[in-house]
Structure 1
Amino acid sequence: MSISSALVISRLPSLPPIRCSLAAPLRYKRSSVVSLRCWCGPSPKMDSDSGASDKAFFLGLSTSSWCTGLGAVGFIETAYLTYIKLSNSEAFCAVAGGGCNDVLNSDYSNVFGVPLPLIGMVSYGLVTLLSLQQSRSNLLNGFGESDVRFLLLAITTSMATASTYFLYLLGTKLSGTVCSYCLISVFLSVSLLFITLKDYAFEEIQKVVGVQFAIVAIVLATLSNSYTMTMPKYLGSSDITLEPYETEIIEQSTPWTIALAKHLHSIGAKMYGAFWCSHCQEQKQMFGREAAKILDYVECFPDGVGKGRKMTTECTLAGLEGFPTWIIKGKVLSGEQNLQALADASGFVSQDSSYALASKQDQS
């Protein structure tokens, strides 16, 4: 038994000597590589978190790309309306009846004297720049990812709030007026807010919802205060008395403006105004001296403004929101109107096209 065992052992192949001093370091060297990979593993995850806005949102585009595109569209729209407002031109309106121009020339088209389209243009421009920065275009130095996200949230919240408020005014104070540009702006601003919120987790929204409510309150208070101040401060003052006065109309009337004034008079159209209202004087200047005398103009403060002096009963019953206000065939047109809008609202058709041409040349 011992002999056979010895033979078996003698036939086994000789094993190489174990060199522990070399094998162990090699094994530890490999384990150090594994530990290095474990340490580097979280790095890609951190990059993906910081670039959450680069994830596909809709149609393969990221939220930052959508905000950039919608912001650019809004910027172009408001830039066009700003040009129309500042140049006193007439905006192209796909809706018949000149509703876009009625809104653009109303008392609600300015906030503390600043044209509303100009404010919108600046807001859309900021959204576009911040969205490009969020796409890592590095347009703005010193702005981190968290700064850009917060600014986008604040701006889009204020824009959506203002657009909703203007939509309320369009349906109440300017009822019957259709403004396609207003509806487009509402869609763009609300969409921008929705897309911006998509980058926030539910826990993050809970942290910033208080800031959003504060922004909403500030925007609503600012707009409400601005439009309250469009009414003259003399109306609420008992210490100041303003005597009525007349402003001379220096512009010459054209045959077209005289014909329009006669038509407005024939259908019972009325213009309500106040002697201290600069827009009322500008409206009369558009007609010219001769045509303005034909208009049915209602002075709402014939006795002046001050203690014991009130608006006339006719103006009070008309429910005026500001001056001037036109009531044509039961339709209320608030604010200074261009002559073509008055012609369209009253159904005026000139017998001689040269009248309209002369009128347009005078306005330009």
Structure 2
Amino acid sequence: MTSISAALAISHSPTLSFARTSPISTSPFKRTLGCPLKCWAGPSPEVDTEDSKKTSLWGISTSTWCAGLGTLGFLETGYLTYSKLTDSEAFCPVGGGSCSDVLNSDYSFVFGTSQRNRCSYIRFLLILPSVPLPLVGMLAYGLVTLLSLQQTRKHLLNGLGEADARLILLGTTTSMATASAYFVYLLSTTFAGTSCSYCLISAVLSFILFFITVKDFGLEEIQKVVGLQLVIAGIVVSALTNSYTTATQQFSGSNDITLEPYEIKITSKSTPFAISLAKYLRSIGAKMYGAFWCSHCNEQKQMFGREAAKILDYVECFPDGAGKGRKMAKECSAVGIEGFPTWVIKDKVLSGEQELPALAEASGFILADFYPS
């Protein structure tokens, strides 16, 4: 029995396995089985990414160039806009007085005439807004900068794809280059003989931005949108021409605005110089043409003071009031006045508010003539 039990115990005991473990293969072929393999029928093709399509100039992407130039233009026009809004003189490193004449001319505003140091009857009656031209340029340069940064994957404008940004950038630079060409033409014709460094710098920046944008598109792609560019250029030229033409048209008298004449009291006291200058201006037949509603005319009189202002040969151009059915005095119409005040001194026409020394110089006034030694 004992032998039988022992035999049964042995038959039910766990089977011991002495299997030989194979060593892990270090074959290079087996190590690569875990990596994905690709089979090419020919030579390995070049990877075509968006970065490979971007053009560059001297190793710098065109988007970076546009962003940098746009920032420069934004700073320049921003300074000129500040000068316009604060009614201060912009510093002209080149050109001096002629540069200031251009910057303060009627062409320095769009959809209206310049109101610097003078009042415009058209502005008074039609109540049209005058937009400083540098402000328009500042907005355009700012848009160029944003669109350029958008293309450098800064994603400043959410929801705007790179293709749309490039197309808008092309349209913007096209309009800027067209406007610059328009103003360069005016500078060489209307302002012949003058110099405006700010105008030329802005024009150069606009042209460079335009050519860089065109280069970025390429000849084949630009041919598809050249029609759009021509339309944009035509709209810009038409808008500018219409703006300046409207601003110089004479008032037809059909407006409903009416204003009865009134008199503003002069509170400042006249200096001996102002009194002497007023007497001299009257003696040589110099006249000041103004309007009762013009703030600059009032300021001009305040410069002379109440005593000297009474001596001046002042011509009120709207003695019967202004507005519907009220006409400008014939004496003023004959002079061809475009704004107030207007001085006529020895066949010289000075438009706008003038400093007393400027009037003395224009008239040839010498203070010593009234105070002989």
**TM-score per shorter chain, which class?**
0.5 to 0.7
Residue 177 of structure 2 corresponds to 160
Name stretches of at least 5 consecutive residues in structure 2 with no aligned partner: 1-34, 111-128, 368-373
Answering whether residue 207 of structure 2 is matched by residue 190 of structure 1, we say yes
State the match for 1:214 in structure 2: 231
Work out the CA distance in 2 between the residues paired with 1:320 and 1:175.
22
Aligned to 2:48: 44
Structure 1's unaligned 5+ residue stretches are 1-28, 352-364
Number of residue-to-residue matches in the alignment:
317
The Cα shift of 1:245 comes to: 2.1
Which residue of 2 is the match for residue 181 of structure 1?
A: 198
- CA–CA separation in structure 2 for the residues paired with 1:224 and 1:182: 18
> Following the alignment from structure 1 to structure 2, what is the Cα–Cα distance between the partners of residues 228 and 343?
31
* 1:67-113 CA distance string (max 9 Å, x none): 22222221111121222222222221234653344344443333332
Separation in 2 of the partners of 1:291 and 1:95? Answer: 38
For residues 193-204 of structure 1, the aligned pairs below 5 Å read 193-204=210-221
Of 242-251 and 258-267, deviating more is 258-267
Deviation at 1:251, TM superposition (A): 5.5
Q: Distance in 2 between matches of 1:327 and 1:36?
A: 87
Q: CA deviation at 1:348?
A: 8.5
- Give RMSD over aligned pairs: 4.4
Q: Does 1:119 align with 2:136?
A: yes
Compared CA separation, residues 315 and 190, structure 1 to 2 (3 A): farther
C-alpha displacement of 1:198: 1.9
Deviations along 1:121-167, whole A, 9 cap, x unmatched? 22211212222222333333322222121221222222223333334
More helix by share: 1
TM-score (normalised: structure 1) = 0.66
Distance 1:131 1:259 in 2: 60
- Asked if the contact 1:260/1:348 (under 8 Å) is kept, the reply is no
Paired position in structure 1 for 2:8: none
Q: In 2, Cα distance between the equivalents of 1:67 and 1:342?
A: 44
**Mean CA deviation greater in 150-159 or 100-109:** 100-109
Q: 1:321 Cα deviation (Å)?
A: 4.5
Q: Which residue number corresponds to residue 258 of structure 1?
A: 274
Pair member with larger Rg: 2
Do residues 76 (structure 1) and 75 (structure 2) align?
yes
Q: Given the superposition, is the C-alpha separation of residues 201 and 104 from structure 1 closer, same or farther in structure 2, using an over 3 Å criterion?
A: same
TM-score by length of 2: 0.65
Measured against aligned partners, the alpha-carbon deviations of 1:272-305 in whole angstroms (never above 9, x if no partner) come to 5444545544555566555555656555555556
Partner residue in 2 for 1:33: 39
Using the alignment, how far apart are the partners of 2:340 and 2:145 within structure 1? Answer: 37
Aligned pair in 2 of structure 1 residues 218, 73: CA closer, same or farther (>3 Å)?
same
Change (3 A) 1:187 1:46: closer
In the other structure, the counterpart of 2:161 is 144
Match of 1:245 in 2: 261
- Structure 2 letter corresponding to 1:187: V
% same residue: 57
